[in-house]
Chains A and B, each alone.
Chain A
Amino acid sequence: MAIELKMPALSPTMEEGTLAKWLVKEGDVVKSGDILAEIETDKATMEFEAVDEGTIAKILVAEGTDNVKVGTVIAMIAGEGEDASSAAAAPAPASQQAESTPAPAKAPETGTAQLTAAVEKTRPADPAVPAGTEMVKTTVREALRDAMAEEMRADPRIFVMGEEVAEYQGAYKVTQGLLDEFGPKRVIDTPITEYGFAGVGTGAAMGGLKPIIEFMTFNFAMQAIDHIINSAAKTNYMSGGQMRCPIVFRGPNGAASRVGAQHSQNYGPWYASVPGLIVIAPYDAADAKGLLKAAIRSEDPVVFLENELMYGRSFEVPKLDDYVLPIGKARIMREGKDVTLVSYSIGVGVSLEAAEKLAAEGIDAEVIDLRTLRPLDKQTVLESLKKTNRIVVVEEGWPTCSIASEVAAFVMEEGFDDLDAPVLRVANEDVPLPYAANLEKLALVNADKVVATVKKVTYR
């Protein structure tokens, strides 16, 4: 029987890609290990190898085709002794095939899909950007890179250091192109040695430089957390203001897709509990750019928490020469009058999705993106509370000792009289993130959980 060649997923988060080039043509005999095609994602070009042996019977997706969904049949291979022409005839378009053959077992969908389900639909423009500003569609990944590049052009003390940031162009391609522009003196590949290079970066900042330290993920920064907290955050205070440490620790944080508990944790609450640190966790590309530029310019140590699931998402970024946002200011993503949803990072998209669902049921939700987790913009939250009298905090992270806990606490301390209902939290389940797709789905926040919780505080 003819073998279907399907568009492969080349990373845990890949959903589609470009079939850049076929390296075989119809009639070629292939064996396992032969390279059949080159496939491009937004991160990289990858080679697609044959697993099965046979003759290329039919190429179904021409080279140069963009947006080929993962799982699409791109070619047919005729097995040994099989007639290539009949194999070529076999593949029917997917819809017909679905009618004529039983549906093949579908790969389970990752639970993180629910975190980004509505990102495409929920893209409010930032009211702080002047009307008429030209907007450029940019991925979060590119926005972060642009922020670093712009700042590095302006200040020779800034350098980037981390694992695979230079020659590999970034493990998640966030530093793509920086080595070419700035050279190996300023874009530095380190050994796999988080504790060491976090300390070297911190020492370099104490010595007058402005390091950007990339962690491949913040999970690995646990090996380095001593320097982030004991060395970077506390030294200015312990020295009576003598020892400056202008450093940015950045990298992806929070759940990624199907990578299991050790690679899926939100460290926002950990770092946000430490005096002496600035903690930023942006949601969209414009904030990623404007806040990373602010972080790099800050004289204080900054923990900048990105999200791998958001790297490939595109948003409108204002085309301005120097787009810098203030640290410590939340952003109202959607105005509403019935309830305030407070969130940050990827939880903002979940909140916006929930707000749309709630609107359909006649509940008008306001959505606040905290953007900075330390210092927290309490004022924006309390002002919103005055209007809505109800708060639900949405957090892709554990509930215990969370940012949500902190919001609940300060709202009670400083806004008690404005509350018409208890502050409720929608967070991940209080378990290490499981691998199995169904369990992963259950463990993570989603819009329906937010909707159900909002109904509790609005007594619907």
Chain B
Amino acid sequence: MAKAPARNAPTPPAVPNRERPSEPERFKASKEQLLEFYRQMLLIRRFEEKAGQLYGLGFIGGFCHLYIGQEAVAVGLQSALDGEKDSVITGYRDHGHMLAYGIDPKVIMAELTGRGAGISRGKGGSMHMFSTEKKFYGGHGIVGAQVSLGTGLAFAHKYNEDGGVAMAYFGDGAANQGQVYESFNMAELWKLPIIYVIENNQYAMGTSVNRSSAEDQLYKRGESFRIPGIQVDGMDVLACRGAAEEALAWVRAGKGPIILEMKTYRYRGHSMSDPAKYRSREEVQSVRDKSDPIEAVKRELETMGVTEEQLKPLEAEIRKIVNESADFAEQTPEPDPAELYTDVLVETY
């Protein structure tokens, strides 16, 4: 190898040519806050396990995408939002985000079973659920569509000068859709208040990030649009919350969009019909053993003096809530046949 000429000074460290967000700090939760995170994450876990069971029994049809393993992301991020003004939108893996927003598990489960009491009156199903009251805008079945739509929500926040921020979740698979970059361009051009959350669970259906993404460090995907990105441990709810605060500070200061890449993992297949042959059982088990987000909170609670014994009543309460939602979803009737023709249009012509 040729020796470098002596006159060459060592390359100076890369200096960002524009302002960057600070490295987020892990959120310092009080015992009560951490207990609440634990409660929400466990509710999602148990709810999704039950949904998987109901799917197996034929109560839930079609596609059903479970959030098991990714609970820390929705809980950590959404806990930082202002429910009065901020809006949230996501793709079809949406049960967790709704539960994290405090939406009644009964109406969610009843939607999964296609019942008239479901949050979409049984006409949306697992992938298409909304709560405009909570500013939760879906629940979208076309991979990547929620990124443009979320950018539109951010446009509305800015237009209305209501101080709100839009949070648009999408996966590592959607991150390769063209409209994502069309949206990045406009969002930065118009300094829209939006946090793009890439939930990188490592697999787009069965294709790993490495096999699908030329730049697999997805937080860098905004670079050519001057959108900064932060990579976050999505298995650590406190890291998620800390990152959300940094991102919100950036966006609320009028600096435009920001990307959070949440490194996470889904334990189940892409959907219920996915046998997940593209990864080994050992890989999944290893994540469960080493990085489970709920176990991590449990350990953290222990250091705060909350014993496993003390958590038992909470766990029992969650089982009860989930079982009740399942019972409700199995027993409440299907939509009235007249519902077939309602809600196609708002007005009558």
Query: Chain A 202-217, CB within 8 Å of chain B: the 1/0 string?
Result: 1111111100000000
Q: Are A203 and B121 in contact (CB under 8 A)?
A: no
Bound CA–CA A197/B153 (angstroms)? 12
Indicate whether A275 reaches chain B with its CB closer than 8 angstroms.
yes
Known: A231-B142, A231-B145, A235-B138. A203 touches B343 (CB 8 A): no
The answer to whether A237 has its CB under 8 Å from any CB of chain B is: yes
Shortest distance between the CB of B202 and any CB in chain A (Å): 26
- In the complex, whether A111 has a CB less than 8 A from a CB of chain B is no
Q: Give chain A residues whose Cβ lies under 8 Å from the Cβ of B140.
A: 231
Can you name the residue of chain A whose Cβ is closest to the Cβ of B141? A230
A200-B344 contact, Cβ under 8 Å, with A207-B157, A230-B141:
no
- Which residues of chain A (211-258) have a CB below 8 Å from chain B? 226-227, 230-231, 235-244, 246
- The residue that A242 contacts in the complex, of B122, B130, B150, B347, with Cβ under 8 A, is B130
What distance in Å separates the Cβ of B66 from its nearest Cβ neighbour in chain A? 20
Q: How far is the CA of A231 from the CA of B144 in the complex (A)?
A: 11
Are B123 and A204 within 8 A (Cβ)?
no
Considering the complex, which residues of chain B in the window 124-176 have a beta carbon less than 8 Å from any beta carbon of chain A? 124-125, 128-132, 137-142, 145, 147-157, 159-160, 166
- Asked whether B145 lies within 8 Å of A199 as measured between CB atoms, the reply is yes
Q: How far is the CB of A274 from chain B (nearest CB, A)?
A: 10
Decide if B35 is an interface residue (CB 8 Å cutoff).
Answer: no
Contact between A200 and B183, CB atoms less than 8 A apart: yes
A-side interface residues, number (CB < 8 Å): 46
Residues of B within 8 A of A243 (CB): 130, 132, 137-138
Contact A207 B137 (CB under 8 A): yes
Bound CA span A326–B347, Å: 12
Q: Is the interface of B mostly helix, strand, loop or mixed?
A: mixed
**Cα separation A278 to B345 with both chains bound (whole Å):** 9
- Indicate if the CB atoms of B148 and A202 lie closer than 8 Å: yes
B12 an interface residue at 8 Å Cβ cutoff?
A: no
Given the known A-B contacts A202-B149, A239-B128, are A196 and B179 also in contact in the complex, defined by CB atoms under 8 Å? Answer: yes
Q: Determine if B253 is an interface residue (Cβ-Cβ < 8 Å).
A: no
Q: In the bound complex, how far is the Cα of B227 from the Cα of A17, in angstroms?
A: 48
Q: Is the CB–CB distance between A326 and B349 below 8 Å?
A: yes
Q: Using a CB-CB cutoff of 8 Å, which residues 91-141 of chain B contact chain A? A: 118-125, 128-132, 137-141
Chain B proximity of A282: nearest CB distance (Å): 15
For the complex, give the distance between the alpha carbons of A209 and B87 in Å.
Answer: 14
Q: Given the complex of chains A and B, what is the CA–CA distance between A390 and B242 in angstroms?
A: 72
The contact of B132 among A201, A227, A231, A242, by CB within 8 Å, is: A242
Q: Is A151 an interface residue (CB 8 A)?
A: no
Residue from B118, B149, B344 in contact with A206 in the complex, judged by beta carbons closer than 8 Å: B149
Task: Confirm or deny: B316 has a beta carbon within 8 angstroms of a beta carbon on chain A.
Answer: no
Give CA–CA (A246, B166) in the complex, Å: 20
Q: Is the CB of B291 closer than 8 A to any CB of chain A?
A: no
Q: Does A79 touch B at the CB level, under 8 Å? A: no
CB < 8 Å neighbour of B156 from A207, A231, A276: A207
Closest partner residue, chain A, to B131 (CB atom): A242
User: Is B308 part of the binding interface, using a Cβ–Cβ cutoff of 8 Å?
Assistant: no
Say whether B178 faces chain A, with CB atoms less than 8 Å apart.
yes
B190: min CB distance to chain A, Å: 8
Task: With A237-B123, A239-B120, A239-B128 as known contacts, state yes or no: A204 contacts B155, CB within 8 Å.
Answer: yes
A299 at the A/B interface (Cβ < 8 Å)? yes
A195 at interface, CB cutoff 8 A: yes
Tell yes or no: A385 within 8 A of B by CB.
no
Contacts of A415 in B (CB 8 A): none
Interface contact B142-A204, CB-CB below 8 Å: no
A226-B145, A240-B124, A375-B349 known; A203 and B130 CB under 8 Å? no
- In the bound complex, residues from chain A placing their C-beta under 8 Å from that of B23 are none
Question: With A195-B178, A209-B159 in contact, is A328–B349 under 8 Å at CB?
Answer: yes
- Tell me, rounded to whole Å, the shortest Cβ–Cβ distance linking B1 to chain A: 46
Is A404's CB within 8 Å of the partner chain B? no
Residue contact A240 to B121, C-beta cutoff 8 Å: yes
* A205 to B160 Cα, complex, angstroms: 12
Q: Does A298 contact B (CB under 8 A)?
A: yes
**Of A48-56, A185-193, A333-341, A357-365, which stretch is located at the interface?**
A185-193
Whether the pair A199, B159 counts as a contact (CB closer than 8 A) is no
Given A190-B186, A207-B87, CB of A240 within 8 Å of CB of B343 = yes
- Asked if A239 meets B138 with Cβ closer than 8 Å, knowing A193-B185, A196-B185, A207-B153, the reply is yes
Residue of B nearest to A189 (CB): B189
Q: Judging by beta carbons under 8 Å apart, are A275 and B344 in contact? A: yes
Interface 1/0s, chain A 259-286, versus B by CB < 8 A?
0000000000000000110100000000
Q: Which residues of A contact B302 (CB under 8 A)?
A: none
Least CB distance from B84 to A in Å reads: 14
Contact between chains at B130 and A199 (CB < 8 Å): no
Contacts of B147 in A (CB 8 A): 199
Structural contact, B159 and A159, CB atoms closer than 8 A: yes
B182 within 8 A of A: yes
Q: Which residues of B contact A202 (CB under 8 A)?
A: 148-149, 152
Asked whether A198 is an interface residue with its Cβ less than 8 Å from the other chain, the reply is: yes
Given contacts A230-B142, A240-B119, A242-B132, contact A206 B345 (CB under 8 A): no
Are A204 and B156 touching (Cβ within 8 A)?
yes
What's the nearest-Cβ distance from chain A to residue B109, in Å?
15
Q: Which residue of B lies closest to A377 (CB)?
A: B349
7 A-B pairs whose Cβ atoms sit less than 8 Å apart in the complex: A191-B185, A202-B149, A203-B155, A227-B149, A278-B349, A300-B346, A328-B349
- Going nearest first, the 3 A-B pairs with the smallest beta carbon separation are A203-B152, A199-B148, A196-B182
